Amino acid sequence: MTDDALQNLIGGWFDDLEFTTEESQFLNVKVPREHLHALMQQLREHPETEFDYLFCLTGVDWGEELGVVYHLESTTKRHILVVKVTTADRENPELDTVCDIWYTAEFHEREVFDFFGIRFRNHPNLKRLFLTEDWEGYPLRKDYEDDVNMILH
């Protein structure tokens, strides 16, 4: 499917989706976090979209907000879509897990939790992946400080 066709189809499912192709080689869609899981489920199962391959899941600290970027590809249709979701709550950020839709998300979400502190609701095994359990803070956040281990500019 072309980017325009994808946008037309997916845009009809939920009201408040924001599409853009600016500053990116793929079609991007920003989804409010309450619709995240429903949208992902639909993207995976709808026969026209069939996004069966989650090839990248990235946590990002946007400054004010924390967010996750999902790169999706369909192995049958060969189209690509980037889904973005953010949360403004830096103290207690929470998003829905997608590891019931794509198994690979289980490890990727643990990595995001480890480094950004985003909690994924309904994740079967949400604990730190690389760092030790007693590590304080979330190192990939922009405001993270560590006088001992971090080499500054």
In 3-state terms, what secondary structure has residue 80?
strand
Separation in Å, CA 49 to CA 13, 18, 82, 97, 134: 12, 18, 13, 20, 42
User: Taking CB under 8 A as the rule, does residue 65 contact other proteins?
Assistant: no
Region class of 50: left (phi > 0), else alpha (psi between -120 and 50), else beta: left
User: Taking CB under 8 A as the rule, does residue 60 contact other proteins?
Assistant: yes
Instruction: Report the alpha-carbon distance of residue 10 to residue 104 in Å, rounded.
Output: 23
Of the two residues 18 and 34, which places its CB atom closer to other proteins in the complex? 18
Binding to other proteins in span 131-150, by CB under 8 A: 131-132, 139-140, 150
Nearest Cα neighbor of 111 from 134, 92, 128, 136 is: 128
Residue 12: CB minimum distance to other proteins, A: 25
Q: Which of 32, 87, 104, 119 binds other proteins (CB under 8 A)?
A: 104
Of the two residues 13 and 53, which places its CB atom closer to other proteins in the complex? 53
| Longest CA pairwise span in the chain (Å) | 52
Q: Which of 16, 25, 64, 92 binds other proteins (CB under 8 A)?
A: 25
Chain positions contacting other proteins, by CB under 8 A: 22-26, 28, 52-56, 58, 60-61, 69, 71, 75, 78, 82, 102-104, 106-108, 111, 129-132, 139-140, 150-153
